[in-house]
């Protein structure tokens, strides 16, 4: 499948990134050609129908590329600025909002969460409820089980694809499940943690999560192509293709007649956004580059919980962010999954480079790892900007 190349564009950052290295790009055209070839290999080999990629440098240069098909049936090509659901990458935005409220003195990270829910009967049924702190929710050490994989949930979704779910309804699905670990004494990833964080944001501010997100993050950071995924029709969303037709009772093509296969409001603060890759790298460069949070707060975000995780490459988890190293290169970021879409976002602090990849298919393939593929993208970028420190494959 032929790739589509968007010419290198300059994108001005809203804030200056203090103390970061600037990148000298001496072979931009050649690097872009190699990146496009890597992206085309995904679609030419039918690993995924379509893919988009953004690489953003500290001097403001952003390269956005696309390859393959947005809609297989209609043979619609993917464009670099196409929108896909970004899944759990949304947790980085939730964590940033919580931490900004912490900076304002409105939230204590060590506070017991139950203080906001004393008069809420359902919360007392949450596993570990009396001892959970805000920090434990942020770094997935609270021990609340994951609600997403409950068969009862997806049966209900199949019966009413427009249903709006309350946090109480979602967490009631796991009320009989044992805790994954004692509070603060282990690590287990769960969207359940972030649903409660969403409620805390609303209780502290007296406003909806999305209103607070717009005011604190999306507007000041100029994330104009990052959208709330709180309804089935999301402007600009391209089709995705899922392998979860039996497990989640979903159609293979998850966008039909401009409507998503179910109401993504289900995800809410477990993710809750759709975006372009260029907005994702703009966000990562601002968040991890130091423009959003105070230095001491960013340090808190990037301090990993003292427990091993099940994340790839032995990544650790801070407050809404992965912290890891690949081939000696440190990176911060997150991955995202929504039925039909997969997202990778990483920021390389030693180079002030942000990368984002989105694909419109969630299928697994024998002898192929999208994570390893993403690493080859990083090697191309680093080899063309820091040839003495990295070698391209």
Could you give the CA distance from residue 249 to residue 95 in angstroms, rounded to a whole number? Answer: 31
What per-residue confidence (pLDDT) applies to 23? 37
What per-residue confidence (pLDDT) applies to 7? 30
What per-residue confidence (pLDDT) applies to 247? 94
Asked whether the predicted pLDDT for residue 1 surpasses 60, the reply is no
Q: Are 171 and 153 in contact (CB under 8 A)?
A: no
Residues in the chain: 393
User: Cα 274–311–103 angle (5° rounding)?
Assistant: 60
Tokens 């994989």 sit at which residue?
A: 149
DSSP string for 113-139: GGGG-TT-GGGGGSTTGGG-BHHHHHT
Average pLDDT over residues 234-244: 97
- Give the tens place of pLDDT for each residue, 249-273: 999 999 999 899 999 999 999 999 9
Q: Which residues contact 292 (CB under 8 A, 6 or more apart)?
A: 15, 96, 100, 217, 221, 286, 298
Tokens 């030693």 sit at which residue?
A: 350
In the chain, DSSP assigns E strands to 3-5, 9-10, 50-57, 61-71, 76-77, 84-85, 226-228, 255-256, 259-260, 273-275, 316-317, 322-326, 329-338, 341-348, 353-359
Q: Are 278 and 286 in contact (CB under 8 A)?
A: no
Average pLDDT over residues 328-338: 97
Positive/negative CA dihedral, 265, 78, 218, 54: positive
Asked whether the predicted pLDDT for residue 5 surpasses 70, the reply is no
User: Cα 377–34–324 angle (5° rounding)?
Assistant: 10
Please count the other Cβ atoms lying within 10 Å of the Cβ belonging to residue 371.
12
pTM for this predicted structure: 0.91
119 CB burial (10 A radius; 0-12, 13-18, 19+): exposed
DSSP state of 270: G
Could you give the CA distance from residue 69 to residue 81 in angstroms, rounded to a whole number? Answer: 13
Q: Quote the mean pLDDT of the chain.
A: 91
38 CB burial (10 A radius; 0-12, 13-18, 19+): buried
Could you give the CA distance from residue 205 to residue 349 in angstroms, rounded to a whole number? Answer: 32
Please count the other Cβ atoms lying within 10 Å of the Cβ belonging to residue 167.
19
Q: Are 138 and 305 in contact (CB under 8 A)?
A: no
- Give the tens place of pLDDT for each residue, 122-137: 999 999 999 999 999 9
Question: Strand pairing of 61-71 and 255-256?
Answer: unpaired
What per-residue confidence (pLDDT) applies to 282? 98
* Percent of the chain whose pLDDT exceeds 70: 92
What tokens appear for 127 in the block? 């596993």
Q: Are 284 and 277 in contact (CB under 8 A)?
A: no
Could you give the CA distance from residue 261 to residue 157 in angstroms, rounded to a whole number? Answer: 9
Q: Are 78 and 42 in contact (CB under 8 A)?
A: no
Could you give the CA distance from residue 111 to residue 129 in angstroms, rounded to a whole number? Answer: 12
- Give the tens place of pLDDT for each residue, 60-95: 999 999 999 999 999 999 999 999 999 999 999 999
Tell me the CA end-to-end span of the chain in Å, nearest whole number: 23
**What phi and psi, each to the nearest 5 degrees, are found at residue 161?**
-75, -10
Average pLDDT over residues 341-358: 98
């Amino acid at each position: 499948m032929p790739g589509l190349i968007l010419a290198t564009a300059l994108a001005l950052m809203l804030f200056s990134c203090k103390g970061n290295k600037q990148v000298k790009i001496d072979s931009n055209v050649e690097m872009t050609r190699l990146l496009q070839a890597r992206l085309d290999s995904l679609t030419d080999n039918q690993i995924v129908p379509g893919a988009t990629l953004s690489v953003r440098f500290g001097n403001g240069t952003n390269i956005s590329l696309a390859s393959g098909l947005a809609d297989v049936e209609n043979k619609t090509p993917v464009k670099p600025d196409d929108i896909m659901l970004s899944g759990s990458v949304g947790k980085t935005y939730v964590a940033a909002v919580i931490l900004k409220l912490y900076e304002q003195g409105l939230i204590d990270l060590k506070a017991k969460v139950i203080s906001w829910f004393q008069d809420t009967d359902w919360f007392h049924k949450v596993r570990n409820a009396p001892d959970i702190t805000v920090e434990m929710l942020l770094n997935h050490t609270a021990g609340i089980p994951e609600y997403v994989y409950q068969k009862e949930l997806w049966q209900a979704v199949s019966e009413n694809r427009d249903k709006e779910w309350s946090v109480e309804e979602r967490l009631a699905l796991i009320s009989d499940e044992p805790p994954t670990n004692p509070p603060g004494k282990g690590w287990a990833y769960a969207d359940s943690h972030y649903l409660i964080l969403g409620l805390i944001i609303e209780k502290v501010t007296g406003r909806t999560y999305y209103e607070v997100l717009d005011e604190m993050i999306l507007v000041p950071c100029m994330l104009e192509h990052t959208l709330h995924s709180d309804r089935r029709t999301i402007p600009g969303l391209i089709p995705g293709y899922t392998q979860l037709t039996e497990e989640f009772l979903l159609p293979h093509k998850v966008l039909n007649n401009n409507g998503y296969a179910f109401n993504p409001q289900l995800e809410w603060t477990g993710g809750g956004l759709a975006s372009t890759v260029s907005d994702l790298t703009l966000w990562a460069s601002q968040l991890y580059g130091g423009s959003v949070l105070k230095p001491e707060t960013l340090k808190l975000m990037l301090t990993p919980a003292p427990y091993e995780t099940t994340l790839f490459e032995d990544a650790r988890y801070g407050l809404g962010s992965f912290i890891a190293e690949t081939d000696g290169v440190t990176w911060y970021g997150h991955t995202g999954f929504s039925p039909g879409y997969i997202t990778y976002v990483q920021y390389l602090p030693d180079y002030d480079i942000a990368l984002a990849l989105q694909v419109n298919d969630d299928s697994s393939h024998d002898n192929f790892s999208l994570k390893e593929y993403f690493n080859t993208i990083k090697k191309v970028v680093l080899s063309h900007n820091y040839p003495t420190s990295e070698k391209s494959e």
